[in-house]
Amino acid sequence: MSQEKRKVPRFHVSPCQFHDAASGKNFSVQDISQGGLALRLVDRVDLPVFAVGSLHHGLIKVEGVKTDGSFQVRYLRGTLVGGEWFEPSPELRKHLEEISRAEVLGPGLKRYDLPEMNGTSWYHHPVGVDLLFYPPNGDSASSAEIARWMIYVHDNFVQWELDTGIRTGKTMAEDEEGYAHGIVRLETRLIEHDERFNTSLLRWVERLVECSEAIASPLKNLVLSQLKGIV
């Protein structure tokens, strides 16, 4: 499997929050799924509290709903804390299943400017979804003439490039914390391509794009036409 590195934009503060019962502190949830969550710590002084293997209880606020939940820390990468759900309640499971549907996330995608990445269009949903269009030679991505598009869904991705076409794979956060531009931080992700298409992921992405009203029509049509015949 081939590996590459990519820069992924992330907001410093997310509307998704975890309130830790023991410390009384709130932490930004950078990614959340039916398998677990990832927190971004603002202050490194909190790192010892999140030692690998430690168990944390509290309130998870995601998509406007607060639910009791617990997770166990599985990894630390820089100030990123990755956790796996510990005995999730039926209420939490149901909520996470609902907000993970493409039909729910697609309409919630919003476009944000990235002045530090000239010409790149970024569509983001706080529940771990990022779609980026990269134009050739730093031109505007408002045109369908792009060099690459890439969508990150939790720890998975779908990518299209001029020379390689559609590919799927897995992503992993690097230890380096990236660098900040205002309220946005550019973080490094290691991507590893699948040997074969993840067809279920491709179908999910197709539904997501179809349901989004924020994606500019030329870009939406481009993605759907490139997925056609594969999914």
CATH number at residue 23: 2.40.10.220
C-alpha 68/C-alpha 211 separation (Å) is 30
Question: What are residue 84's phi and psi, to 5 degrees?
Answer: -110, 135
Alpha-carbon torsion, ordered 211, 148, 126, 75, to 10 deg: 130
122-132 per-position pLDDT tens digit: 999 888 899 99
Same-domain check for residues 85 and 132 = no
Domain that holds residue 46: 14-99
Same-domain check for residues 42 and 61 = yes
170-229 per-position pLDDT tens digit: 988 765 555 555 557 677 778 899 989 999 999 999 999 999 999 989 999 999 999 987
- Is the pLDDT at 157 greater than 90? The verdict is yes
Same-domain check for residues 140 and 200 = yes
HSE-up (13 A, CA, CB side) for residue 22: 9
